Amino acid sequence: MKTNAHQFSLSLSTAVRARVAFKWLRVFVEPMPIWTMRAGLLEARRVHSIVGGFFAVYNYFGYGLGESVYCGALELELLGRGHHVAREVAVAVTYNGIHVAWQRLDMVVDNRVIVENKATEKLSPYAPRQILTYLRATPFPVGLILHFGPEAAFKRYIDFPKRGFGAVKTVGTDLDTNLTN
């Protein structure tokens, strides 16, 4: 006897239906906090667009490629969405006002958001510390970790209010401008 999906779902117990509904809801609604962000959140529209681009790339490729592939595809996706994207940005890090080193960032979007891409099976527990340190050492107020793992995941971090930074010197990009505007 053939049954269609509607008939099958009617025969499921309430608990099973709730579990199936919750699982569906979790898969498709997890990104909602970004998409329903209050207008007062820092860089809300920009982050929403970046995360949307992340999911577009992840849905196209899935899991299993190298970080450089995802970075290249994400750059194209974000450029198509009207963003300015700089990859492999070297940012000067200072200590007590004296230059001590250069730090490489995966991506900077619109001179406002640091994007750190990860393509590992499991996100390292040190990844949040890494992005927070990048935010503290640079003038950028918002950072994202985009994890192209077995399950797509992202995390948003802020460092606000920022300390008083002036111009940031970068190498190998066209970001040699005042990024505090």
Q: Which of the pair, 43 or 147, is modelled with greater confidence? A: 147
Q: pLDDT tens digits for 48-106? A: 999 999 999 999 999 999 999 999 999 999 999 999 999 999 998 888 889 999 999 99
Query: Above 50 in pLDDT, residue 120?
Result: yes
Give the chain as a 3 state SS string: CCCCHHHHHHHCCHHHHHHHHHHHHHHHHCCHHHHCCCCCCCCHHHHHHHHHHHHHHHHHHCCCCCHHHHHHHHHHHHHHCCCCEEEEEEEEEEECCEEEEEEEEEEEECCCEEEEEECCCCCCCCHHHHHHHHHHHCCCCEEEEEEECCCEEEEEEECCCCCCCCCCCEECCCCCCCCCC
**Domain boundaries defined on the chain:** 1-30, 43-171
- Rounded to the nearest integer, the mean pLDDT of the chain is 77
CATH class of 43-171: alpha beta
- Calculate mean pLDDT across residues 135-143: 89
